[in-house]
Every structure is written in structure tokens, then in C-alpha cells.
Structure 1
Amino acid sequence: MYLKIKILILSVAFHTALLAQVDADRVASFFAEGYSIAELENLLENMPLKKHEKWMGKRGYEFREEVPGKNLLVYKKSEVVTLYIFYSNDHITEVRASSSPQKFYQAVDTFSKSASFRLVEYYLQKKETKKLEGYKYWRNNGLIYYSSAEKYINGLFRDYPADMEMSLPKSYLPEMVFVKGGLTKMGSDNPSDPEDIRPSYEIRVPDFEIGKFEVTVKQYLYFCKVTNREFPKIDSKWSGESMPITNITWYDAVDYCEWLKYITGKRYRLPTEVESEFAAKGGNKSKQFKYAGSDFIEKIGWVKQKGQTDIRRVGSAYPNELDIYDMSANVFEWCSDWHNFGWNQEMQKCNLENRKMGGPDKGLYKIIRCGGNEDPQKSSVISKMKVLPNMKYADLGFRIVMNPS
């Protein structure tokens, strides 16, 4: 008997650990009333409109009614959970669950605390979507999750058209360069350098891949077309296909990464500032140049006159030691990190193994790096600036990174 109990305990522990590993961000505290966030995702992606009642019945849902004028199916699960399925033509477009206050707050707590879900102020580049007052919205992997405290509802819908093309022509996929990780020094100890890059600190960088070029107008335009988003307004002289995309917010750049991740299944994202600086310096092949590939800005970029903007097609100058282009001059590039003036001091106080790759957990400004050709100092590999994430500039774009497969 003791052996059987021990085996049972080990089995439960193993499956619990496995469950936590696979779905920890989505299942927390959701089983008490009969559904999980993962289950709502499954309904959105897989529920058939034909014979839906039989399909849902196998999953414990009782059909209540159909409201044709609203393209709505209503189901019950347990005493307090009502499920609303919205549809258009042959596609499920939205799933909404109305439940008890306790269930609602458990869902919101999961959304808020999980690193997988990003709270978004607006996703309104999607033309047919209207943000509702009193609602909060989160984005994750091509889906928008929302909650309403007034009505105790949680729901989700696609941030992309249901019939969106799920393959990407090779010419629209950014070319990547593998960067072998290693120990690097961030920032500077020169007292004449800006405060937010002082003092220097060492950090160990894992392997990653980074875009050989900045994301181009051609690549971003394709993203806008297949997701029904508005293309940013760009001066005609910088709108050529091979020009870097500019005049986009940090949110726009993140949305592009999440779309690319969604349709390819690969882990695309914005670079951390550590990855950006490490790659700009040439990684483990670094020759300690001031700029990305040279001590002379004219070799790997160009200097414009003050007050003017001079953007050129990607790859117009020489690459750096890793064969990466435009990591000095051309346009500034969004990073994933929040800006914190005291971050370098905090990291210097930490043990090497505790130093954090992704920057502070919150902030007001996002970090931008790698660009600017009005002041050569801003193009150095250690230089950085800060910008509000909802701002757009004619000389601000981005490149992407990807975790190794």
C-alpha cells in the first residue's frame, strides 16, 4: 500500500510539474468553475460552426440559444459560467465568458502577472475594432484578451483576420545572423559620457539571432496588408522597398514581432539593449571599434547636417565584424527594455549570475539605440536614448532578434 501511495504521489507530482511547465501562465486558478484560458483559446481556434452543439457537448457545454441577428451562440457551463461565441461566415471571431466575480478576478490576476500577456493601451490600427470603455486589453501571440470589471467578463479575439495568410514568402522574411553569446561589458566608465550608460558592468549574453538589416518598408508593408493595419505615413523619398521602416511606435514594432512569431512559430521579438550593444560591437569577434564596424563613421554610415534627416536603403555602407549592417547611423532602433537612469549602477552591484538581460520591469520610456547621423556620438556602440513608446519619428525604426531554435 505504501509503495502504491508513493508511486501515486510521484505520478501526481510529475504531471503537476509538467502541467506547470507547459501551461503555467494560463491555467492558474481557472478550474474551479470549469474552464481555463487555454480552453477558450481552443474554442476560438477549433470550434466548428457546423454541428457545434455536438462538439461542445463533448466538452461539457450545454447549448442555450442562437441569436442570428448578432451572429451569436450561447452556452452554459456550471451554474455561473455563460459562454458567448461570436461568428462571421465560417469563422469563430470571439469567445466571451461571463462568470462569478471571483473567477473574473482570477483571470485578470493571471493576465496581469504573466510575462506572456502584454497590457496594451490601444490596438486600434486594426480598422474594424473599437475599444470599449471600462475594458482592459492584453495581447499574446496574435490574440487580444480582454476583461470588464463592471460585467465580470473575460474574452478573447484574433488580432488578425481569421483568413489571414499563414505562410510568409521568403523575400518578406528578414535575414538573420547568428550571434554566439559570451561575456561582454555594457556601458562606460568615462565621466564625460551620459549618466545612463555609467558605470560599466559585465554581463553574460546567451546565443541569439539578429536581423542582418533593419526591418524594411517592403517587409512591414506586407505585414500591414495581411493584418488589415494602416501603413505609417512616410515621406515619399524614404518609402522605397529597401528603405528601413520608420515613423512607427514601439507598440507597432512589437506587434510586427508577435505577428511574425504567430505565423512562423519561431520566437521573434525586439532586442534587449544588451543584445543590441553586443551585436553592434561585433560580439565575440569585436575589435573594439567606436562605431559598429569602424572607428570612422563615414565607413559604416554617414553624417547629416544638423536639423536634417538622411535615411538610406539598408546595407548602404560597410557591415561590422558579424556582417550586420546599419548598427551605427541610418535610423535609431527600438529595444524591448524600459529606460532607468540608475540601471547600470543596479547591475554593477549584483553578482554576475544575477545580472538581468531584459532591463527594468517597468518604466515610462523605452530605450532606442544604433542610430542617429546628426551627431556621431549618438551613433557609437555604447550610446542610447529614451523615447515614449507611443511616439513616432521619421528616423526611428527597428530590427528583430530571435531565440535560437
Structure 2
Amino acid sequence: MEILNKYKTVFVIPVLFLIIQIDSKTQNQSFESYKQEIPNTNLSFEMVPIPAGEFLMGTSMEEIGHDGDESPQRRVSIDAFWMGAHEVTWDVFELFLDKDFEKAISTKPITQQVDGLSRPSTPYLDMTFGMGKENKPAIAMTQYGAIQFCKWLYLKTGKFYRLPTEAEWEYAARAGSNTAYFFGDKKESLSEYAVYDSNSKGQTMPVGSKKPNPWGLYDILGNVMEWTYDHYSPYRTSQNTIKNPVETSEALYPKVLRGGHYESSESELRSGKRFASDPIWKQLDPQIPKSQWWFPEAPFVGLRLVRPLISPSEEEIKAYYNQEPIADY
């Protein structure tokens, strides 16, 4: 994949997401919810279908809580994809973190490709931050770490999993709505759907503790913020519908996260709210360069998976997974 100039806006999604191979297996697959099992373990996770469509991305200045970086609004077209019904939990993420643990619970030897995969360094802090792991979202990984988890999952399952683009995330979170939240504008209903500052008691909750949005996505607002693939950059005006937009940059910061978290305010949980990664999240890291895997001061960061309905080519998949990390000094 060509490395683009810093802060360059790409209105047509890059080659990775655009060039596709349609084989008989792809043509015949059903576009329904499914359970993805982790081979040779008793672990699995749920994926739900997100239909193709168009929506108005961003928020109007009249929306209560509107921030300037949420406009100008633009019409966006999105191809169909599956999205994780829940945020990725520790039980699955820990298999990626610890090869010995993965070997211990697998009923068959792990493959050579998986065995040789580069994995996160052992963190010097308790990366659960005392909040526990059982059915709770994995937290504090960098965007690079999240993408490498997707690579591990691809090697395990043979299916191309990746991070959502910012546009895909907002489209899925809105689920056809154009209000501040997918259930409307009245923040009084928020506690039914989200874990945030008024009901979290200062920590994450098990995934699925609240009601899902109309497309079957739990905790899409609150609990933990979720990585997208995009570089954080101002929106630009477009008179035309933009198809599958994504913002790329060779710069390490800032990258876009969405959804708010367990200590977010009501306004920060709006569907159009944007967040940007910050190097201060590594302030406590004594390493030089700082870890490419962990944000020791970001217990509010997690991830949710996407799988496109039509998978890109093997070459494009490798280009997505095999990008070198950018040194963080």
C-alpha cells in the first residue's frame, strides 16, 4: 500500500478496501449473524451483519453538545460488513498476548505461522487496572496492537478481520438514526444502553450488560472507546456522496477513537462524537522508544472487530497487517 503524505485526505477508501476478489465461496455465503469460534479452543465471539447504505456523517451545529470537529456533515455511502456484537474481551485477547497460554488451552498444536507471530511485550503494569477480566473488554492496547490482534485472528480463522473505519463505526452506531443517540435525543434513556460516568462506578462492566442498538451492537456507546483505522483530521466539505471514506497518514498521532467510555459524560456518548489518541497516554512508560503495544494511561481504550462482506485479496490483507510500527520517542 502506498504511504500517503501526512494528513492527506482520502475520499475513496484505499486499495486495501477497494480491490476485491469475488469467488464462488464469497458469492454463496449468507449475510447473517454468526458465531466465530477460535479453532481448537472453546472460545468464540458473535458477529452481526451491517447492511450497505448511506447516511449523513457528522453532526449539525444545532445538536446539543456539538463540537466543531463533527462538521461539516457529509453524505457517505458504506458497503456491507459484519461487526462484533460486543467489544473484544480479555478471554480472546489474552490468547494473542500470551503464546504459552494459547498453547496450554489449545486442543491441537498451534501452527508455525501463529507460533512465529510477533506478540506484545509483557506489560509492567496490571493492564486490567484492577477492573478484572471475566467477560470484560480488553483495554489499553495501541492501535498497532489492535491491528496485530486482527492479524493473529486472521491466521487462526482464515477470515479477514480488521478495525472499522471511522465512517463505518458511525454508520453502525447510528443504525439508521440521525439523532444524537441511536435511540433519540433524550439523554434520560442513555443508562439503558450505555456504561458511562453516571452508572459505571468508575470501571468497565461485562460486555452486553446493557441493551443493544437496533442493529444488535452492545456497548457501542460507553464501556470503552473503540479504535478506528482513521487518522484524526478535520472533515472537509463535499457536494457528492463519498464512498467508504478513510483518512490515512504516516504520522503516529492522533488516530480516531469512537464511542466514549465508562467515565464519559452524556455528551461524549453521542453517535457523532470524535476522540483523538494522545501521546500522554504513554507518559508513565519508561521505555525509549515507548512501547508500540500498550497505553499505560488509557484503561478506557478497547476495540471492536469488523469483517467486510467481500474480502480483499491476499496481497492486500498482508499489506494491511504488515505495516511497520512508527517509533514513539
Normalising by the smaller structure, the TM-score range is 0.5 to 0.7
Match of 1:310 among 203, 206, 214: 203
Give the Cα separation in 2 of the matches to 1:289 and 1:195: 17
Is 1:366 matched up with 2:255? Answer: yes
Could you report, residue by residue, the CA deviation over 1:351-402 in whole angstroms, capped at 9, with x for unpaired residues? Answer: 325x552124444310010122431111111111100476451111111101
What secondary structure does 1:312 align onto?
Answer: coil
1:212 corresponds in structure 2 to 85
**RCO greater where, 1 or 2, for CA within 8 Å and sep 6 or more?**
2
Q: TM-score, normalised by structure 2?
A: 0.64
Query: How far has the Cα of 1:259 moved from its partner?
Result: 1.3
Is 1:357 matched up with 2:245? Answer: yes
Task: Give the residue type in structure 1 aligned to 2:259.
Answer: C
Is 1:291 matched up with 2:145? Answer: no
Tell me the C-alpha RMSD between the 2 structures.
Answer: 2.8
Asked which structure has the greater CA Rg, the reply is 1
> Residues 59 and 66 of structure 2 are in contact (CA less than 8 Å); yes or no, is this contact kept in structure 1?
yes
Which is richer in strand?
Answer: 1
1:144 corresponds in structure 2 to none
1:253 corresponds in structure 2 to 146
Is 1:395 matched up with 2:300? Answer: yes
Q: TM-score, normalised by structure 1?
A: 0.53
Give the Cα separation in 2 of the matches to 1:302 and 1:400: 19
What secondary structure does 2:148 align onto?
Answer: helix
5+ residue gaps, structure 1, are 1-24, 26-112, 116-139, 141-166
Match of 1:380 among 267, 270, 280: 270
Give the Cα separation in 1 of the matches to 2:181 and 2:93: 27
2:327 corresponds in structure 1 to none
Match of 1:183 among 41, 54, 58: 54
> Residues 211 and 401 of structure 1 are in contact (CA less than 8 Å); yes or no, is this contact kept in structure 2?
yes
- CA 307–263 in structure 1, closer or farther in 2 if over 3 Å, else same: closer
- CA 169–277 in structure 1, closer or farther in 2 if over 3 Å, else same: farther
> Residues 230 and 246 of structure 2 are in contact (CA less than 8 Å); yes or no, is this contact kept in structure 1?
yes
> Residues 93 and 149 of structure 2 are in contact (CA less than 8 Å); yes or no, is this contact kept in structure 1?
yes
Give the Cα separation in 1 of the matches to 2:240 and 2:267: 31
Give the Cα separation in 2 of the matches to 1:170 and 1:379: 35
Task: Give the residue type in structure 2 aligned to 1:271.
Answer: P
Task: Give the residue type in structure 2 aligned to 1:376.
Answer: E
- CA 351–288 in structure 1, closer or farther in 2 if over 3 Å, else same: closer
Give the Cα separation in 2 of the matches to 1:313 and 1:293: 22
> Residues 166 and 230 of structure 2 are in contact (CA less than 8 Å); yes or no, is this contact kept in structure 1?
yes
Is 1:272 matched up with 2:165? Answer: yes
2:21 corresponds in structure 1 to none
Could you report, residue by residue, the CA deviation over 1:108-131 in whole angstroms, capped at 9, with x for unpaired residues? Answer: xxxxx379xxxxxxxxxxxxxxxx
Could you report, residue by residue, the CA deviation over 1:225-284 in whole angstroms, capped at 9, with x for unpaired residues? Answer: 2355445532464222300001111111111011112232211100001111111111xx
Task: Give the residue type in structure 2 aligned to 1:202.
Answer: R
- CA 382–394 in structure 1, closer or farther in 2 if over 3 Å, else same: same
Query: How far has the Cα of 1:188 moved from its partner?
Result: 1.3
> Residues 55 and 77 of structure 2 are in contact (CA less than 8 Å); yes or no, is this contact kept in structure 1?
yes
Give the Cα separation in 2 of the matches to 1:384 and 1:240: 27
Could you report, residue by residue, the CA deviation over 1:9-45 in whole angstroms, capped at 9, with x for unpaired residues? Answer: xxxxxxxxxxxxxxxx7xxxxxxxxxxxxxxxxxxxx
Give the Cα separation in 1 of the matches to 2:156 and 2:196: 38
Give the Cα separation in 1 of the matches to 2:239 and 2:250: 19
Which is richer in helix?
Answer: 1
Q: How does 1:124-143 map to 2 (within 5 A)?
A: none
Give the Cα separation in 2 of the matches to 1:214 and 1:381: 16
Task: Give the residue type in structure 1 aligned to 2:54.
Answer: L
Give the Cα separation in 2 of the matches to 1:356 and 1:278: 11
> Residues 209 and 403 of structure 1 are in contact (CA less than 8 Å); yes or no, is this contact kept in structure 2?
yes
What secondary structure does 1:298 align onto?
Answer: helix
> Residues 195 and 219 of structure 2 are in contact (CA less than 8 Å); yes or no, is this contact kept in structure 1?
no
Could you report, residue by residue, the CA deviation over 1:283-339 in whole angstroms, capped at 9, with x for unpaired residues? Answer: xxx344533446421110143269973210100000000111001111111110000
Task: Give the residue type in structure 2 aligned to 1:333.
Answer: E
- CA 186–274 in structure 1, closer or farther in 2 if over 3 Å, else same: same
Give the Cα separation in 2 of the matches to 1:378 and 1:169: 40
Give the Cα separation in 1 of the matches to 2:120 and 2:196: 34
- CA 193–240 in structure 1, closer or farther in 2 if over 3 Å, else same: same
Match of 2:132 among 229, 239, 260: 239
Give the Cα separation in 1 of the matches to 2:147 and 2:49: 21
5+ residue gaps, structure 2, are 5-15, 17-37, 100-116, 280-291, 311-329
Could you report, residue by residue, the CA deviation over 1:202-237 in whole angstroms, capped at 9, with x for unpaired residues? Answer: 010000010000000101011112355445532464
How many residues were matched structurally? 236
1:74 corresponds in structure 2 to none
Give the Cα separation in 2 of the matches to 1:171 and 1:370: 29
